[in-house]
Copies of this chain bind each other. A is one copy, B any other.
Amino acid sequence: MPLIVQKYGGTSVGDAERISDVARRVVETRKAGNDVVVVVSAMGQTTDDLIALATHVSSRPSGRELDMLLTAGERISMALLAMAIRDLGVEAASLTGSQAGILTDSAHGEAKITAIRGDRVRQYLDDGMVVIVAGFQGVDPESRDVTTLGRGGSDATAVAMAAALEADVCEIYTDVDGVFTADPRLVGTARKLDEVSYEDMLELAAAGAGVLMARSVEFARRFGIPVHVRSSFHDGQGTWIKEDAMEQTVITGVAHDTSEAKVTVHGVPDQPGIAAKLFGALAAEAIDVDMIVQNVSTAGHTDISFTVPVEHLEKAREAADRVAPELEANGVDVDPDIAKVSLVGAGMRNHPGVAADMFRVLSEHSINISMISTSAIRISCVIEAARCDEAVQALHDYYLPAEAAT
């Protein structure tokens, strides 16, 4: 019997009505002759509400206890979903991350899955049940404490569970129709992709396409699990993420990300070891650095710019200020009002002119580029946040014009 892992996010199980809708869909999938494992997030605002409570009782909540607290969220949604499914005449049982054998390291709040012991899930499947698994959570086998997986954790649970159970497909249900050539809220002509390769999806995710995080895509690629990103509101096909998408287009999509901020360290001597000291200091504070650009040296001095998540900006500024004297830097500037726009496409490898075209399109719109970074299949430019929408629209019009729609 084919095995399908389905993942439903917080919006899809936002209230009792929606949980009943999800139950009906799960039962349809089961009655169509599939084994079904369902991974659920916490209902809508639950996680935010719990975090608000934690900050009320503690100025700096313990990571262990915060994980204990937050894992109550999926416990509620998974039990309700199991009840709703049983009400439709199909046997179902819910399992916590720990019960489902999701083992992690000990990094509370951002744990990594280290192994999945799928025997209890398999036993329940063999008994003819639909199995509901809590997303976002696991257990550290050393301390026996519960852990949470951090952002995108429920997707990671679903893909990892699909890999462990050798599922035929992992379906990610979401509030959008799939993966688009650009954010359809910005670009009216953006269209849904029927297929996208793991490789392109990885770059899209890293470039800010919010539908699926890179960690889940990486996992799916490593274990060859086809992922189907689709809407929880209708039955239409979404986007399939898999090896060797049928057509290798030059540009798969335009992604943007306004969640980063830029830090510039001015006038550092152009000497070996400077970058190592600066980024060593940032790494010690667990600050995620994305893009790094070092300017051409002028009179033996240079500027180093980098981007960080906007919520890490203060920590990053403090760290840079702290090492600035040691680096003999002239000063540290920060700019939170930036956007990163990216072109992604595996076909880019064989089309060397893409970068030049991208810079020209932006320049025709008088949009200034302050940082550039490229990979083999992606080009990203940092621009003013205020010009982000215009840049995304212009690039989509140029590379993915509406006429090309099939």
Contact = CB atoms under 8 A, between A and B. Distances in A.
A94 B68 CA distance: 8
Contacts of A54: 79-80, 83
Given A64-B93, A75-B71, A80 B53 contact: yes
A82 B289 CA distance: 33
Interface stretch (A55-63, A200-208, A218-226, A304-312): A55-63
Nearest to A22: B57
14 contacts: A16-B56, A23-B57, A50-B76, A54-B80, A57-B87, A59-B87, A65-B82, A66-B79, A68-B79, A72-B73, A72-B75, A72-B76, A72-B79, A99-B144
A255 interface: no
B87 A65 contact: no
A84 interface: yes
Contacts of A372: none
B86 A58 contact: yes
Interface residues of A, number: 39
Interface of A: 16, 19-20, 23, 50, 53-54, 56-62, 64-66, 68-69, 71-73, 75-76, 78-84, 86-87, 92-94, 99, 120, 144
A68 B75 contact: yes
A57 B64 CA distance: 32
Contacts of A93: 64-65
Nearest to A59: B87
B78 A68 contact: yes
Contacts of A72: 72-73, 75-76, 79
Nearest to A88: B58
Contacts of A120: 144
Contacts of A82: 62, 65, 68
Contacts of A69: 75-76, 79-80, 83
Provide the main secondary structure of the chain A interface: helix
B84 A58 contact: yes
Nearest to A49: B76
A102 to B, nearest CB: 15
A84 B59 CA distance: 9
A71 B403 CA distance: 56
Given A16-B53, A60-B87, A75-B75, 19 more contacts: A16-B57, A23-B57, A50-B76, A54-B79, A57-B83, A57-B84, A59-B87, A62-B82, A62-B86, A65-B79, A65-B83, A65-B86, A68-B79, A68-B82, A68-B94, A69-B75, A69-B76, A69-B83, A120-B144
Nearest to A94: B68
**9 interchain residue pairs of minimum CB distance:** A16-B56, A69-B79, A68-B79, A58-B83, A72-B72, A57-B84, A72-B75, A58-B87, A65-B82
Among A60, A66, A83, A86, the most chain B Cβ lie within 10 Å of the Cβ of: A83
Contacts of A92: 65
A57 B87 CA distance: 8
B83 A61 contact: yes
A211 to B, nearest CB: 27
Nearest to A83: B58
A20 to B, nearest CB: 6
